[in-house]
Amino acid sequence: MSEPARYGISPVAESESFTSELLAVKELKKYYPVRRGVVDLLRRSRKVQVKAIDGVSFTVNEGKIYGLVGESGSGKTTTGYTIMGLETPTSGSIIFQDKQLSVKELKPGNLSLKVRMIFQNPYETFDPRKTLWQTFSEILQVAGLGSRADRRQMSLDALSRAGLRPAESYIDRFPSELSGGQLQRAAIATALVVEPVLLIADEPVSMLDASIRAGVMNLLLNLNRQKKMAILLITHDLSVAWYLCDYLIVMYLGRIAEKGPAEQVLRNPRHPYTAALISASPMVDKTRWNFVAMGEVGSNIDLPKGCRFHPRCPFATDICREQEPTAEVAGDGWSFWCHHPLSVQKLKN
């Protein structure tokens, strides 16, 4: 294992902390054991683990939108689940509103009044046998909010703030009676009803039809602007991140490759992986963004030695194969982990 100091909070992250810091994730790790058969036990083979997240640290400030971007296996969704308490981290800690939560305290329900999550698949987010009202009523009851009489009005308000108007005509419906876009709005309403300070949105538009994505994106943007609700947006789509996010956290195979202000990171990425993601996005200037990463995302079980991205990186040299890169500062609140960071010149040819 690497020394924790390397991936500890960078000086940049600390300088952020005297602004209104909401959440700090520190050295978060989540390993899943791989079930071993009798043969493996007899052979006493090495204990195999899937390293879904492997030392991730970042901070989330109040009222900002953060994008967690990366491909499958990057650990972006697991990170979201861990903050929400849906997964227990192997190690690391989370500081939420200046309260440190240990591994044991990260369980569902502990932050559920302050942090809420919406999921990628709106069609499966609701119990198919319960009406929206039954779901809302259970949410409020579990949260201990409102009297029996208030709860219906609170639910109606949340639905209508999420754009399902008139809310009365939606609240008694079953999930199967709503479209994908309406379900995702209803899912956002289930979060709004408890007025969270942080919303974790896991690929909120990727399963929606193209013509209804804009509505959901603008809804998130408005909630952020008007309610000052911080959003941790998990996405693979950089154009969505460009539109919504103030900050980006680019992850690759369980570790952060680059993080910083969204516009700066996207316009002038320092990590080759960020550049590769940009180059793979549709309708970007192909003369500037011609950077194709080789091969496919590696395995979280047999992680490459040295920099995790080196097998796919055209700039990889011996040092990349041997040593994990350490954090380097590229600007205010902007850091990256690469031995051979990109400069503007390198990208152009």
Partner 1 sequence: MKVENLKVSYRLRNRDLTAVNGVSFSVERAQAVGLVGESGSGKTTVALAVLRLLPANGNVSEGRVTFDDMELITIPEEELARIRWEGISMVPQNSMSSLSPAHRVGKVFRDVLRAHFSGSEEEVDARISRAVELANFPKKALEFYPHQMSGGMRQRALIALSMLCQPKLVIADEPTTALDVIVQKQIMDEMKDLRRRVEASLMIITHDIGIVSEYCDIMVVMYAGMVFEYGPTEEVIHDPRSPYTKLLLKSHPLLFDTAKQIVEIPGDPPELERIPVGCPFVPRCPYAQSICKEAEPPLAHISGNHFARCHFV
Partner 2 sequence: MNPVTGFLRRMSESKTALFGFGVLLFFAIMAVSVQFLPIPNPNSLNFQAFLPPSLAHPFGTDYLGRDVFSIVLWGSRAALAVGIISAGISAVIGIVVGAVAAYYGGWVDDVISRVVDVFLMIPVFFLILIVVAIFGGNIFYTMAIIGVTIWPSNARLMRAQILSLKEMTFVKALRSYGVGGFSILFRHLLPNGVAPVITNTMLQMGAAVLIEAGLSFLGLGDPRVVDWGRTIYLGEPYVALAWWISTIPGAFLALLVLGLNLLGDGLNQVFRPRMRGSK
Enumerate binding residues for partner 1 (CB under 8 A). Answer: 71-72, 179-182, 209-215, 217-218, 236-240, 242-243, 266-267, 276-285, 292-293, 296-297
Residue 209 beta carbon to partner 1: minimum distance, rounded to whole angstroms: 4
Question: With respect to partner 2, which residue has the nearer C-beta, 125 or 281?
Answer: 125
Residue 298 beta carbon to partner 2: minimum distance, rounded to whole angstroms: 25
Q: Tell me how far apart the alpha carbons of residues 62 and 46 are, in angstroms, rounded to a whole number.
A: 43
Residue 228 beta carbon to partner 2: minimum distance, rounded to whole angstroms: 21
Q: Please say whether the beta carbons of 84 and 23 come within 8 A.
A: no
Question: With respect to partner 1, which residue has the nearer C-beta, 143 or 212?
Answer: 212
Question: With respect to partner 1, which residue has the nearer C-beta, 17 or 72?
Answer: 72
Residue 77 beta carbon to partner 2: minimum distance, rounded to whole angstroms: 11
Alpha-carbon distances, residue 224 vs 83, 179, 192, 214 (angstroms):
19, 24, 11, 15
Q: Tell me how far apart the alpha carbons of residues 98 and 83 are, in angstroms, rounded to a whole number.
A: 15
Tracing tokens 């569902």 back to the chain, one arrives at: 108
| Structure-block tokens of residue 156 | 């109606």
**Partner from partner 1, partner 2, none binding residue 256, C-beta < 5-8 Å depending on class:** none
Residue 108 beta carbon to partner 2: minimum distance, rounded to whole angstroms: 4
H helical segments located in 75-192: 76-84, 132-143, 148-161, 168-171, 180-192
Strands lying side by side in the sheet with 99-101? 49-61, 21-33, 91-96, 99-101
Specify the DSSP class assigned to residue 112: T
> Cβ neighbours of residue 311 under 8 Å, at least 6 residues apart?
294, 295, 298, 304
Residue 176 beta carbon to partner 2: minimum distance, rounded to whole angstroms: 6
Tracing tokens 């990628």 back to the chain, one arrives at: 120
**Partner from partner 2, partner 1, none binding residue 125, C-beta < 5-8 Å depending on class:** partner 2
**Partner from partner 1, partner 2, none binding residue 81, C-beta < 5-8 Å depending on class:** partner 2
**Partner from partner 1, partner 2, none binding residue 47, C-beta < 5-8 Å depending on class:** none
Tracing tokens 């079980």 back to the chain, one arrives at: 301
**Partner from partner 1, partner 2, none binding residue 93, C-beta < 5-8 Å depending on class:** none
Question: With respect to partner 2, which residue has the nearer C-beta, 120 or 300?
Answer: 120
| Structure-block tokens of residue 246 | 């103030």
Of 162, 198, 194, nearest in space to 80 by CA: 198
Which parts of this chain interact with partner 2 (CB under 8 A)? Answer: 81, 84-86, 108-109, 112, 116-117, 119-121, 124-130, 138-139, 142-143, 173-174, 176-177, 187, 190
